[in-house]
Amino acid sequence: MWGSQQTAPQPAKERDTPDMRLKLILPKVEPNEFEYPKRCPREGCPGMRFIPRQEVSKKIVDAQHAEVTAWRCECAKCGHVFRVYPKGVNQKRISKRVNGMGVMLYILGLSYGAVEIVLSSLGMGIGKTSVFRAVQAVAKQVPGMRSEKLLSGYKTKAVGADVTSVRCNGKWVTIGIAVDAINGMVLSIDELSGEDADQLKAWLEPILDAVDADVVVSDDADAFKKVSDETGRSQQVCKSHVGRNTDALVDELSALIGAGQDHSLDAIHITPEQALHDLAFLKEMIHTRLPEDQSQLEEAYLRYANARKPGKGKKHDVAYRMRNLFMDRWNLWPRLTFYRSWKDEYGNVILDGTNNPCERAIGWWIKERYRSMRGYKREQSALNVSRLIAFAGNHLSRGLDLASLIA
C-alpha cells in the first residue's frame, strides 16, 4: 500500500504544491449539553451513577456566553462531590472555543502577545501566558509526529529525511524531520543528539520499519548513505542538491583551468581543453541523469585516477580535485538516478528525484515560525510548536479538528 492509504500514487510531476487552505474546526460551547464522566472521577471508585445536587453559576471568557450553569453532582457509590460542566467548558475560566481561537491565530503566524491583543480587542480577555499554555497543551495531543509513536497503521514506500537546527535558550538544538516522500505528509519531528551516521540510524531506522519503507530520500551527506546501506534500503539522493553543488564545482574548476596558473594536469597528461570538455560533459550529465551514463563517468574518472594527493598542509590542486569530483559522481550515480527506474505497478515514476517534500516541511512548518519568534526558550516548546504546525500542514485540504485536540 502506498502513502496515505492510497491505492496508487500520483505521478511525481503532479505533486508540486499543496492546496494552501486550512479549514479549522473549533470547539463549541453548548450551555445545555453536559459532559458527564463515564466513571466517578475519584481514583479507585468504579461508580457510574451520579446524583445532581445543585446548579452553580460559572462566569467564563467566551465569544458568545459570559456565564453558564454547571452542576454539582454526587457519586451514588462513594459520595464524592464534583462539578459537571457544559460542553466546551471546564473548570478553567477560558472556554475551549477561545483557547481554540488562540491556537488557531498562533498557527496562522501571530505571536503569543499578538494573539492576546487580537482576542482582547474582540472582548475575550486572555493573557499571552494562557495562549502559550493552550498552544502547548494542544501540541502535546497531536497524534503521531514522534519516532517512537507514529500514526498507527500508516504505510509508505519512501521516507524523506533531513535535519535542521533551531536556537533554544542560547544553544543550538538539532531537529530531525521525516516525511512521506511520495505525498509530503510529515511523519515525525524529533530532537537528535547529533548528525553522525549512528545517531541518524538510531532515529530513522524505527521510522522506516514502522511504515515499511523501502527507500530513503535525502541529501548527499555520507551519514544518510550509511544509514540507507546499513538498514538495507535503496536511496534517492536529492538531484537538486547534487546539481547545485556540481554546477558550483564545475564553474570554479573551469575558472582555475582557464586562468592557466595551475599546472597539475600536466603530470597526468591531460590538456586544459580535455579537462574543460570533461567538466562541461559532467555538467550536462548531472542534469540529464541517465542511468546508462555511469560508464562514461567511470571513463572520465579513470583519466584523472593517477592524480596524486598534495603533501600535508598543501592545498588540493586542480588535477586532484578533478579526480575526487569524477570519482564521487561516478559512485553516486546509482543513488542519483534511482528514481528513473523505480515505478509503481502502473508504470508511473513514483518520486521526482528531489527531497523537496522534506525541504518544504522544514521551511514551512519549522523555520518560518522559528524566524518570527527569534528562537525558543525551551527545547520541548520547539518540538511541540513544530509538531502542531506540521500537523496543521498535514490537514491543509482535509480540515484541522482543533476541537478534538482541545477536548
Q: Cβ distance 204 to 211 under 8 Å?
A: no
Rg over alpha carbons for the chain, rounded to the nearest Å, is 28
Q: How confident is the model at residue 162 (pLDDT cuts 50, 70, 90)?
A: very high
Q: What is the pLDDT of residues 296-339, one digit of tens each?
A: 999 999 999 999 998 888 899 999 999 999 999 999 999 999 99
With 0-12 / 13-18 / 19 or more C-beta atoms within 10 angstroms meaning exposed / middle / buried, residue 383 is: buried
Residue 253: all three cell numbers together = 574548476
Looking up cell 480540515 gives 399
Torsion (CA) 206, 209, 214, 217 in degrees, nearest 10:
-20
Give the Cα separation of 390 and 142 in Å (integer): 10
The pLDDT value given to residue 397: 60
The pLDDT value given to residue 46: 95
Return the amino acid letter for 326.
F
Q: How far apart are the first and last CA of the chain?
A: 32
Q: Work out the average pLDDT over 92-97.
A: 93
Q: What helix, strand, coil percent values describe the chain, rounded to 5?
A: 45, 20, 35
Non-local CB neighbours of 232 within 8 Å, separated by 6+ positions = none
Looking up cell 597539475 gives 264
Domain ranges in the chain are 30-87, 240-339
With 0-12 / 13-18 / 19 or more C-beta atoms within 10 angstroms meaning exposed / middle / buried, residue 303 is: middle
Percent of the residues in the chain that have a pLDDT greater than 70, as a whole number: 92
Average pLDDT, the chain: 90
